[in-house]
Structure 1
Amino acid sequence: MRTIHAAGAVRRTWEAEPVEGDAVVVTGTVVEAVGPLARLTERFPAARVRRWPGVLGPARLHEGPLPEAPSPRERVHALLKSGAVEVLGEHLDSPELRAAADRNDLVVLSGARPPAISESGRADLAAFDETGTCVATVCAGRLVFRRL
């Protein structure tokens, strides 16, 4: 299913200036297009539109140990709630934690790299409200966290 994710502004990288009125089109696991919301809804009239408060950007890389929680599943969920879908492999310190990361399609990296939204790239997005709280996380095109 094709989904347009829109927010008050979109950042292709967290260092880039926010672009007001932009949105991101996700089809399957891939970013299909980025641009003005009005143009994208005209180009893709059948797409579902999800609107998020604040700023939408690339999902983040979690560089440290995963948060403590009772189970590996809950440790991974804590990452998703923070807007992260990338983790350094050195911090997946048990087979159970590695399996939980794999089940949730986390990107496991050997070294840090700046996350970015790019057309034809994997659809990993996060939206943050004006307080900096994550309100939504999209991992490989799938909405995996939404703050109600």
Structure 2
Amino acid sequence: MLTLHTAGHLVAGAGSEPVPDGAVLVEGDRIARVGPYGDLAASHPHARVRRWPGVLTPGLLVRGADGLLERTYYPDDPYETAELGTGPITGEAALAALGMTEARWGHSARRGTQKLLARGVTALTGRFTIPAVRTAVVRSGLVVLAPAGPADGAGASLDPFAGREEAGQAFHGVLEPGAPARFAVFAVTDPGALLAEGATTCVATVIGGRLLHRRR
């Protein structure tokens, strides 16, 4: 089945010029074509169309995600937030006080991966040593890449744009025919606003051609 994803601007990769009213045509788990929406819609009139507000980009990459998923606890809303608050919990003493078990780490990791998907993340690196966390990551659909080195991802953030000089530094891959269908859409007025407004503006995340996050 063909699906045509379109947004106000499309950025195919780091350093690429934005395409106004750009679109990505997806067939299965791959990108079939990339270009102006009008051209792709005319040549594929029977494709299902998904219109998104904002800017469509390659999916984002988070390095050192083991720190975000194995050394950070995400309270379960609403069951734990009254006692623990809504923010992530870090630090050896704070985590020890929670009496973390493997099952609890797995539940937290599932919530953590949902937060990553909700920020346009499609790929991550990390050395995951807790089996329940590894399972949660695999089931999330996120692509796991090998760490670049011992210091890979030092100071990792849920927002891949944090600390970047250019938004393209957070992109993973390029949107081009034949490439895996992994991309995200952010509800910002133009590509220049991505860094300022951050990844929490994400309205959709697609991995393998599947819509894994959609803001409601």
* Alignment TM-score > 0.5, same fold: yes
Task: Please name the residue that 1:101 is paired with.
Answer: 137
**How far, CA to CA, are the matches of 2:12 and 2:129 in structure 1?**
31
Per-residue deviation, 1:104: 2.4
| Secondary structure in 2 matching 1:16 | coil
Asked if residue 123 in structure 1 is aligned to residue 181 in structure 2, the reply is yes
Misfit runs of 4+, over 4 Å: none
Asked if residue 83 in structure 1 is aligned to residue 120 in structure 2, the reply is yes
Task: Please name the residue that 1:56 is paired with.
Answer: 56
Instruction: Tell whether the 8 Å contact from 1:66 to 1:76 is kept in structure 2 after alignment.
Output: no
Task: Using structure 2 for the length normalisation, give the TM-score.
Answer: 0.63
**How far, CA to CA, are the matches of 2:123 and 2:129 in structure 1?**
15
Query: Structure 2: which 5+ residue stretches go unaligned?
Result: 76-106, 149-170, 189-196
Task: Using structure 1 for the length normalisation, give the TM-score.
Answer: 0.90
Change in Cα spacing, 1:137 to 1:8, as seen in structure 2 (3 Å) is: same
User: After superposition, what is the alpha-carbon deviation per residue over 1:78-131, rounded to whole angstroms, capped at 9, x for unaligned?
Assistant: 1100100101032x3421121122112211111468422121111001001114
**How far, CA to CA, are the matches of 2:39 and 2:142 in structure 1?**
31
Identity of aligned residues (%): 41
Give the root-mean-square deviation of aligned CA atoms.
1.8
**How far, CA to CA, are the matches of 2:5 and 2:34 in structure 1?**
10
Residues 1-148 of structure 1 mapped to structure 2, 5 A cutoff: 1-64=1-64, 65-66=67-68, 68-70=73-75, 71=107, 72-90=109-127, 92-111=128-147, 114-130=172-188, 131-132=197-198, 133-148=201-216
Q: Which amino acid aligns with 1:39?
A: D
Query: Structure 1: which 5+ residue stretches go unaligned?
Result: none
